[in-house]
Structure 1
Amino acid sequence: IMVLPRDGLKDHQGKALKYDKVYYVGEQDFYVPRDEKGNFKRYASVGESHDDVVKAMRTLTPTHVVFNGKVGALTGKAALTAKVGETVLIVHSQANRDTRPHLIGGHGDYVWGDRASSATRQSATSRPGFIPR
């Protein structure tokens, strides 16, 4: 979740930033327990899996990493699109690990890092949000 300021996002000079669309990219880690042969385990109920899931999570090594909840969630018909000249705010979240999106062939005009109170103008990507040019 990203909560925007009531008076909107501002640049480093306090001027309001405008964007044509907003995309949310959630990065999720899943920790699926495996059996002694390395196969993913199945359970009759979520409660039955609890101890094994906690054990898998303690490894801090996810078995699956997906964007927006599933494989292919941001590809094909669900791909993030923008027209030439449009400004897009991309909000990225990852609750478990320190990861940062990288725009191939582009860069962000404004970047908000952890706990940043205002945008910095730079040619880099960071989290949790950035506006690519």
Structure 2
Amino acid sequence: MKIHIINGPNLNLLGVREKSIYGDADFITYFNTLQQRYTSHSLTYFQSNKEGELIDKLHEVGFNSDGIILNAGAYTHTSIAIADAIAAISTPVIEVHISNVYKREAFRHKSMLAASCKGVIAGFGLDSYRLALENFLNQ
């Protein structure tokens, strides 16, 4: 299977920022662990702090992949443009969050993306990504 992981703003700072919320592991190390565990599958990773670049990546991979795991960061709660991009592509998208957004500030309780996604996984730390990946692999 060909699965793409796309991370949005500030997720390049994992392991450095707000460790009490996001933990102390950086994403590249975690991604390498996923690649080593799932060697028979093609896993790619992209991160951007720019909304347009996230949309461009969704357009690029959204018609020739088996799945997309998307953590859009704060854009989850604000971006109709990313929601439209997800709705426009044929590849299923699972929205993920490291923290349990429903235990945080009220503005984080609303996802602009969820209605266009296959599902949402939140609150399991970096393991949220593995859970999404397992969903795609077990179809």
The reply to whether TM is greater than 0.5 is no
Indicate the structure (1 or 2) with the bigger Cα radius of gyration. Answer: 1
Higher helix residue share: 2
Structure number with higher strand proportion = 1
TM-score (norm 1): 0.30
TM-score, normalised by the number of residues in structure 2: 0.29
